[in-house]
Structure 1
Amino acid sequence: MKFGKEFATQTVPEWREAYMNYIYLKTLLDEILISRQRQTRSQVNPKPPQPSLKRKVSLFRAFSGLTNSSPGKYKEDEVIIVNKMQQADEEQGGVCQSYQTIFLRSSEEGGDLELVFFRGLDHEFNKVIHFYKTKAEEAVKEAEELNIQMNALIALRIKVHNPVEVIQESKISEEHQDQKRLEDVDEYKMASLDVLNRVKINATTETPVSTVRSVFNSLNMDLNYNKNELKEAQGKLKQAFLEFHQKLRFLKNYAFLNQLAFSKIMKKYDKITSRNASDAYLQTVEGSYLSQSDEVAKLIERVESVFIKHFCNGDRNRGMNTLRPKSKREKHRVTFFVGCFFGFSLALMVAIIASVRARDLLESEGRTRYMNTIFPLYTLFGFLVLHMLMHAGNVYFWTRYRVNYSFIFGFKQGTELGFKQVLLLSFGLSVLVLAAVLANLEMELDPKTQSYKTLTELLPLGLVIVVVLIAICPFNILYRSNRFFFLVCVWHCICAPLYLVTLPDFFLADQFTSQVQLLRNLEFYVCYYGWGDFKKRDATTCNESNIYQTISIVIAVVPYWIRVLQCIRRFCEGRDSTQAMNGLKYLSTIAAVVSRALYSQKRGITLKIIAASTSGIATIFSTYWDLVMDWGLLCRNSENPWLREKLILPSRSIYFIAMVLNVILRLAWMQTVLDFHEAPFLHRNALIAIVASLEIIRRGIWNFFRLENEHLNNVGKFRAVKTVPLPFSYEGEDKDL
């Protein structure tokens, strides 16, 4: 792999703009190379010179000949001179150092290109140093804050665990190993217990009860010196140390990669120009803050020492495995099983189609009853598999274009699922579902299994139970951390607005707004197996019940109402008017959903007009929000017309195609108002399934561009690690602990 590609793959995605622009400098070197090649060809095969240019050409040849005949005559400091300068720092209001290279050969043929190269090189070098120094200074300040927090945590530990008993037990069991630690405890006991008189503990782990209490009480609470407070404070501070250590490792890698990039580009310059300027410039690089500063390295050592001692009981192996988790290895068995399950799915689909056509089931008398009962039961899984396949495609393209979806969603490092893992789950579920469908058909039509009619009808319910049991399985199988993460987000959505709204929470709630038909199918499961006569495959009790239809409307509203509550919570926390407008958008969608549902049940020209008007307003509102707010597109003054300034995808046309598809797929509601569900060539439930699938596809497209825009926002603010709330706050501004 060439260095340019390797360099790009090892950079921190959110800091990409702060790295040395290796591609740009390499482009300048390519121009210098082309210029020199033209110069060489003109010397080997000179054209007949015009009389007016004869003297200039001869002078040029003589000078060039001297240069080429004795390349080692000049000393390296006569090629370039790098000066260190002082200039005002507008951002921090002080003075910062910068470097400026004086190129001594600019009068030569093609020297102007080399002069441009060194100007670009200086610009990149100064940019890198400024960014690194800024981040290093931020890290020092964060270390001071963590040190203060650690003092408070140690004091709280001593207060909670009764230091007299702790020390006595330690002397009995660890006297020969841990004498130094006991001395540290005594020191903290004497010097740090008064810290507790000047600190308060921030709100503990958020729960619905704590949120309700916070409406009437202050968000900060006095210390009660109990084990629960200690556990929660320790958990927050441990996570803060993990994120801080990751940031320090990013900084260390940033310095190393940029030094290597400057070395590579200067060696390439020497090779192209046959000069020896790299030594002089690289000496400047080695003597700069980028190379000489050891603050980051020292902080890494201190963080690791403190983390191992206070969060891992001195177990270095466990501490280092936690701080520096090993990267995931690609498992070939995952690829193997993805292929197997995909093949099984295709084979089962062919078998089902062959069975239906061989027995002419589409023209049988039970066709309508089957479409009204069994078809909705299995399409629930079809919607789920389609959504998972769209997510797998998104993960693939997020990975390909280096969208840091793991950081954005907040996955624990190394636990995020790749696109192959998502495909494995998708095709595995599809095999289960298709096998159940085929078994259902065979058991129903085979005379030997006619007596198992009840068992035949219970197959879909059994499949739902299996999927639910897998989702809540407490054992460490089938990506337990991801399942737990998903269930926590679902719980946060259900309890909205009682939890702090994070991106995974409202992102998942948006997915639910595109899975309304799946939620209605769940309602049908409850009704069909609870109140319907499933043994006779009769769903009349459900489909003709006014209560069932009313609940169906409520279920369709619930996902949008969750988003409204989330917007209210975010508005109350940040007083952001954008969230108020977003809440109005979902309210308009609720009005459209309710009016369309009422029209589909009761008909009437008045309801039709109301449904069409509310749906039109909601569609315009939602489409504008998708394109402008969620995707960040339709910018008039952008360098990319009607797009945003920064784009990740290489082709602009993809963004326009996505915008057009978003508009078209959002108009799928028109089939309800225009009575397309009455078409004789397609069953009503089949059309509903197609429209629901189109909405899932639209949501999948939306997901990619929404996360791309979020990634670019993080890039613009250089946010590469999570901000963890610290456990302790201080009375007033007194932090001298």
Structure 2
Amino acid sequence: MSVASLPISINSPVLRRAGGKSVVSEQDSGETTEEGLLFPSELVDMKNGVEMKSGIALMHGAAIAPSPILLWRLKILLFFAWGISCCKISWDSVMRMSADLRDLFLYEAFLYYNPLLLVTLMVFLWGLNLWVFSQSSVNYSKVFDLDHNYLMHKEMWKCATWMAIVVPTSMTAYLYLYSHGEVLLAASQPVILYAIVVMVLIFPFDIFYLSSRYYFLRTLWRIILPLQPISFADFFLADILTSMSKVLSDLERSICRMVNHQVATIAWFEADSICGSHSVMIPLVLVFPYVCRFFQCLRQYKDTKEKSSLLNALKYSTAIPVIFLSALKYHVLPEKWTNFYRPLWLLSSILNSLYSFYWDVNRDWDLSVFSRIFKFKNPNLCSSLFYGRIWVYYWVLSSNLVLRCTWTYKLSAHLRHNYLTVFTVTASEIFRRFQWVFFRVENEWNKMTLKTNSGLKLEEMATEEDRLLSSSSHEV
């Protein structure tokens, strides 16, 4: 055998047998020792053996690592176990309190944790909106003018899951510590929770979705001060804030109690308390999202000169009498409220509800052409249940009308003591807004698509016209 026929160096350690000697070339005699060399067939056997050992090692590693389905089931099991534990501890803590203070203390706990629980619900439903958009033809990233770092539905659900863990945990600790006499530690729980939420929002380092957090904060700033042209994201978030006006009102009362050191007390329930239920700040905070939306419409009219912007501003202005007429109940005589102000309040509530319902259907949704949002790219259970079903539109229209009326009723400043009813109505309004998002975003996407197609057609016509005019030969 000639050594020169080997394709690689004869002194390569890869070619040596285990324990073999080094190959020494004898140039004088022209002969080369072949001891310790691996032949091509032996090289193939070694390669196959290494591959078999690697495959076995991978099989052992795969057998040791748990499957994603098993991990998912384990997470769900732990989540439910944690939820049951929180419910049990909270129930036992509440039952330790005296009966005359129990309802008042539950109302206070509701005041602190109701806003964040409802925000958690909104985040989860927004993730569901994004999932539907990702499965359909609606390109929501272009609608909101997002960069490549925007959050998908999985990230939104992850945020909602963490919020659903942290907020009830803090609430359970609050109830447990107060029922066991640790009032100062109990009072610190909502303060710590709100401080964590603020820090997560404004944290300047590139963690916790920095670009998305700052995009959200910039949009909030543009809503408060509409000094530049209004984008669709500005309108959209301001509309969502109108559905969260009761949440903002409870948030203001919670912060007021924390600033004035009234946490874990019941003195706040009195009428003369700084943060009590008769505070003038309640109607001011309730009306704030509607005022912001009103000025946005005026700014849009200034930029576009569209009369529909003025009509939209008129719609938001109809919510102002509902809020302030209701607040007068605590500042006028009962007879005057019953005979004069309450009829005006009911009339303004009906006007606001019907006007808002008309605008939803005719302007925000444009259901005259029947929306196609539930047509998914890949047919599945959701598309078979919703797409092309006429009952979907009947349900959306009827539920939107009913929930519009109940939400307008709940905007009233004098209806704030039954916290379970308040929570139910506010959660229902969030669900109504969740439905509204589907058709509003799709309608905006349809407008953008139509405008783009029209622009392309005009460009093609202009190109064809230039080509004909530039032609040097014409036949008559």
Q: TM-score, normalised by structure 2?
A: 0.71
Asked whether 1:659 is paired with 2:388, we answer no
3-state DSSP class of the match of 1:366?
helix
TM-aligned CA deviation for residue 702 of structure 1: 0.8
Contact 1:612 1:673 in 2 (8 A): no
TM-aligned CA deviation for residue 357 of structure 1: 4.1
Contact 1:528 1:542 in 2 (8 A): no
The code of the aligned residue for 1:367 comes to R
Structure with more relative contact order (C-alpha pairs < 8 Å, separation 6 or more): 1
CA distance in 2, matches of 1:499, 1:335: 49
From 245, 268, 277, the counterpart of 1:539: 268
CA distance in 2, matches of 1:598, 1:335: 57
Deviations 1:114-166 (A, max 9, x none): xxxxxxxxxxxxxxxxxxxxxxxxxxxxxxxxxxxxxxxxxxxxxxxxxxxxx
| CA gap 1:531/1:670 in 2 versus in 1, 3 angstroms | same
Asked whether 1:401 is paired with 2:136, we answer yes
CA distance in 1, matches of 2:446, 2:109: 45
Q: Give the match for residue 107 of structure 2.
A: 372
Q: Give the match for residue 223 of structure 2.
A: 493
Asked whether 1:526 is paired with 2:255, we answer yes
Q: Give the match for residue 295 of structure 2.
A: 565
Asked whether 1:630 is paired with 2:364, we answer yes
Size of the alignment, in residue pairs?
A: 373
Contact 1:416 1:482 in 2 (8 A): yes
CA distance in 2, matches of 1:390, 1:411: 19
TM-aligned CA deviation for residue 364 of structure 1: 2.9
CA distance in 2, matches of 1:592, 1:334: 52
| CA gap 1:469/1:705 in 2 versus in 1, 3 angstroms | same
5+ unaligned residues in a row in structure 2: which ranges? Answer: 1-65, 376-386, 456-476
TM-aligned CA deviation for residue 486 of structure 1: 0.3
TM-aligned CA deviation for residue 337 of structure 1: 9.1
Q: Give the match for residue 202 of structure 2.
A: 472
3-state DSSP class of the match of 2:204?
coil
Contact 1:524 1:542 in 2 (8 A): no
The code of the aligned residue for 1:521 comes to D
| CA gap 1:469/1:343 in 2 versus in 1, 3 angstroms | farther
Q: Give the match for residue 316 of structure 2.
A: 586
| CA gap 1:443/1:360 in 2 versus in 1, 3 angstroms | closer
CA distance in 1, matches of 2:352, 2:70: 45
Query: Which residues of 2 match residues 194-209 of structure 1 at below 5 A?
Result: none
The code of the aligned residue for 1:368 comes to D
From 85, 110, 126, the counterpart of 1:391: 126
Q: Give the match for residue 615 of structure 1.
A: 349
CA distance in 1, matches of 2:316, 2:73: 41
3-state DSSP class of the match of 1:717?
helix
| CA gap 1:363/1:677 in 2 versus in 1, 3 angstroms | farther
CA distance in 2, matches of 1:646, 1:459: 43
Deviations 1:426-474 (A, max 9, x none): 010110111111222222334xxx3x42121120111011011011111
Asked whether 1:696 is paired with 2:426, we answer no
CA distance in 2, matches of 1:374, 1:364: 16
TM-aligned CA deviation for residue 717 of structure 1: 2.3
3-state DSSP class of the match of 1:539?
helix
5+ unaligned residues in a row in structure 1: which ranges? Answer: 1-331, 722-737
Contact 1:532 1:541 in 2 (8 A): no
Deviations 1:660-719 (A, max 9, x none): 1101111114755999969xxxx6122212211111111111111100111111222237
Q: Give the match for residue 43 of structure 2.
A: none
> Is 547-556 or 655-664 further displaced after alignment?
547-556
CA distance in 1, matches of 2:107, 2:137: 45
CA distance in 2, matches of 1:560, 1:712: 27
> Is 539-548 or 566-575 further displaced after alignment?
539-548
Contact 2:219 2:234 in 1 (8 A): yes
Q: Give the match for residue 283 of structure 2.
A: 553
From 231, 244, 252, the counterpart of 1:502: 231
Q: Give the match for residue 445 of structure 2.
A: 711
CA distance in 2, matches of 1:720, 1:460: 54
Contact 1:561 1:587 in 2 (8 A): yes
Q: Give the match for residue 155 of structure 2.
A: 421
CA distance in 1, matches of 2:272, 2:70: 44
CA distance in 1, matches of 2:67, 2:208: 14
3-state DSSP class of the match of 1:534?
coil
TM-aligned CA deviation for residue 523 of structure 1: 1.2
The code of the aligned residue for 1:538 comes to A
Q: Give the match for residue 187 of structure 2.
A: 457
Query: Which residues of 2 match residues 314-393 of structure 1 at below 5 A?
Result: 344-358=78-92, 361=95, 364-393=99-128
3-state DSSP class of the match of 2:267?
coil
The code of the aligned residue for 2:110 comes to F
Q: TM-score, normalised by structure 1?
A: 0.47
CA distance in 2, matches of 1:374, 1:502: 38
TM-aligned CA deviation for residue 559 of structure 1: 0.5
CA distance in 2, matches of 1:340, 1:491: 41
From 598, 609, 631, the counterpart of 2:328: 598
Contact 1:348 1:435 in 2 (8 A): no
The code of the aligned residue for 1:481 comes to S
CA distance in 1, matches of 2:134, 2:216: 20
RMSD: 3.3
Contact 1:568 1:580 in 2 (8 A): yes
| CA gap 1:342/1:701 in 2 versus in 1, 3 angstroms | farther
| CA gap 1:405/1:622 in 2 versus in 1, 3 angstroms | same
The code of the aligned residue for 2:394 comes to F
Contact 2:246 2:411 in 1 (8 A): no
Contact 1:345 1:434 in 2 (8 A): no
CA distance in 2, matches of 1:587, 1:712: 28
| CA gap 1:647/1:463 in 2 versus in 1, 3 angstroms | closer
| CA gap 1:375/1:348 in 2 versus in 1, 3 angstroms | farther
From 140, 145, 164, the counterpart of 1:410: 145
Q: Give the match for residue 444 of structure 1.
A: 178
| CA gap 1:647/1:464 in 2 versus in 1, 3 angstroms | closer
TM-aligned CA deviation for residue 562 of structure 1: 0.5
| CA gap 1:479/1:424 in 2 versus in 1, 3 angstroms | same
Contact 2:349 2:409 in 1 (8 A): no
| CA gap 1:676/1:588 in 2 versus in 1, 3 angstroms | closer
Contact 2:353 2:408 in 1 (8 A): no
Deviations 1:321-375 (A, max 9, x none): xxxxxxxxxxx99999987776555333322332344466398332122133221
CA distance in 1, matches of 2:331, 2:165: 36
3-state DSSP class of the match of 1:718?
helix
CA distance in 2, matches of 1:432, 1:644: 38
